[in-house]
Amino acid sequence: MDLPIDDDHAPIYSVGQVSGMLGLQPAFLRRLDNEDVVRPGRSAGGQRRYSRSDIDAVQRVVGLASDGFTLAGIRRVLELELQVAGLQAELEAERRRNR
């Protein structure tokens, strides 16, 4: 039986839970959402809900911020990392087709 807790992308953690887990201020998490850096899911009532994948992204953001990156710079780094991952997947798919 698969449970939401087993899904890395299931939006199940509240702002309060994530801020407690990571030792961050709830306002910082809301700012990441407002600045389009980490966009958690929403509950039926409109409350932010974070997945384990979102929590990993928040941890990555905290690391980049501690290295001196601005939120705009972090957003761009994350966008480029997604693009690179997509291109790598396309390249691998093409290599498999040509074998």
Name beta bridge partners: 50: 13
Can you tell me the distance from the alpha carbon of 33 to that of 51, in angstroms, rounded to the nearest whole number? 13
Q: Give per-residue pLDDT as tens, 54-89.
A: 999 999 999 999 999 999 999 999 999 999 999 999
Lowest mean pLDDT among 6-10, 55-59, 88-92: 6-10
Q: Where are the beta strands (DSSP E) in the chain?
A: 41-42, 48-49
Q: Which pLDDT value is given to residue 5?
A: 75
- Whether pLDDT at 1 is above 90: no
Which residues make Cβ contacts (< 8 Å) with residue 26, sequence separation at least 6? 15, 16, 19
Do residues 11 and 50 touch, judged by C-beta distance below 8 A?
Answer: yes
Mark residue 46 as left, alpha or beta (left: phi above 0; alpha: psi -120 to 50; beta: remaining): left
- Whether pLDDT at 22 is above 90: yes
3-state SS class at 13: strand
Q: Give per-residue pLDDT as tens, 11-21.
A: 999 999 999 99
Q: Which pLDDT value is given to residue 7?
A: 85
pTM (predicted TM-score):
0.85
| Sign, CA torsion 14/17/21/23 | positive
